[in-house]
Amino acid sequence: MVEKEIDSLCSQYGLKPTNLSDLTLKVNFPDPDMEHGFSAEENSFYLSLYQELNAASSPPGEGYSSAYIQLVLDPEKVSSEYLADFFNNPLGLKIRKAWEARGFILRPEVRKADVPVMESTQASDLNGPAFFSEKSGFSEASPIAADDIAFEGKLSIESMCEGTWERTSVFSEAAVSPFPGILPIPNVDLDSLMHSKLYLPDLQVQLEVLKIKALTKELISQLSVFECRLSTYPKSITHIRKKLELIREAVKLANDSDYILELIRRGESKRLEFKSTLRMNLITGKPDWNIEHAVLKTIVAYLNTDGGILLVGVSNSGEVLGIKNDGFLSEDRFLLHFKQLIKQHIGLNYAPMIEYTLVPVNGKEVLEIDCKKSDEAVFLKPDKNDEEFYIRIGPSSERLTGSKLIEYVNRRYNGKSG
């Protein structure tokens, strides 16, 4: 699952997947006789063998070097600061969790008794021994793979990023550990770890990302000071508000675009579906009610189940097509047509539960439709004399009729068991 996400990322941005072996000149293991466990070498990356510890671009703190390996990186391919940031953020964390789940890293049981230390420095080139370990009791690999993190809609992705914000910083002087004392050395399948897939942009983009992150930190700091001073020194309020609104809109557009790409990478599910068009049959090249009906029934199914997101302008395979294929003269007319479909076939009384917006993605516009869970049964009305009821079952929308419809409505909305 993690490798599938990496492949999707590379496809979207026209890049090839890589691995640590391609980026690394030398691997060093910790030396207990050194103050920080490693000698200082240019462009070094310190990879934590414990999920809970940050990766770092500077030596780990005293007592924690045994939890790290040092990778001396090729300066023409990768920045150590960028790689540390990558492994401390959502996709990198998932890769690290997957390593442990697959048994590439087997952590020892942390014991209160004295932990034996290594007798000598061990270093390895990429063709050397595959395993590095201390003789001690080992716990089993974690049964929870990173792939198994459930997608719960927009909030889960945002909270994932928020969850890493406080504990992650490529600008810190050393990795920070929640563990007291000296950590035992994990058992590492170095060959498998070094050759597992990961995704990185080219070096120029990496350096630009680091600059933007530094500017972001500076901006956040300045905004905090400004917020404190605002009530006591409200100078040029209107001008400042307009400037802040421009900044907010620019950041929001960038976040929304990345968010849609993140959804596409995850693929269709019970709460996420893609539609190539709103009304156009791409085979016949003509507007088709069946295409509109497919969009509407997905919305109704989301309302009648647990909510969900529908992306219009994205193919089933995840290709971003945009809304141009629907043949509207303008984006406003496209949105007006969608609103009329909701009004005519679902009802404007349910509009507050159907939020929609156009999001720029890869130079094209995608319609994001975010549906909430309804507290009452919602029916699709293809015409004045017909009503249809849909729910989500897995990644598809299924119609209920007769006794199954009555049973579902009674159980869900009327609190009856049968």
pLDDT along the chain (418 residues), means of 10: 68 75 93 85 92 89 83 95 91 84 73 41 39 34 34 39 40 42 70 85 91 89 80 68 79 82 88 97 96 97 96 94 96 97 96 94 94 95 92 95 94 74
Task: Catalogue the long-range contacts made by 280-288 (C-beta closer than 8 Å, 24 or more residues apart).
Answer: 280/325, 280/326, 280/327, 282/325, 287/327
What confidence score (pLDDT) does residue 31 get? 87
d(CA 177, CA 247) in angstroms, rounded, equals 35
Bridge-based pairing state of the strands 308-312 and 272-275: parallel
Q: Give the residue among 196, 242, 234, 221 at the shortest CA–CA distance from 19.
A: 196
Enclosing H/E stretch for 73: strand 68-73
- Which residues have CB under 8 Å from 53's CB, separation 6+? 60, 64, 67, 68, 175, 176, 177, 178, 179
Enclosing H/E stretch for 85: helix 80-88
> What's the DSSP call for residue 362?
T
Collapsed DSSP state (helix, strand, coil) of residue 274: strand
Collapsed DSSP state (helix, strand, coil) of residue 407: helix
d(CA 254, CA 31) in angstroms, rounded, equals 44
What confidence score (pLDDT) does residue 250 get? 77
Collapsed DSSP state (helix, strand, coil) of residue 306: coil
CA distance to 26, 33, 55, per residue, from 39 (Å):
12, 11, 17
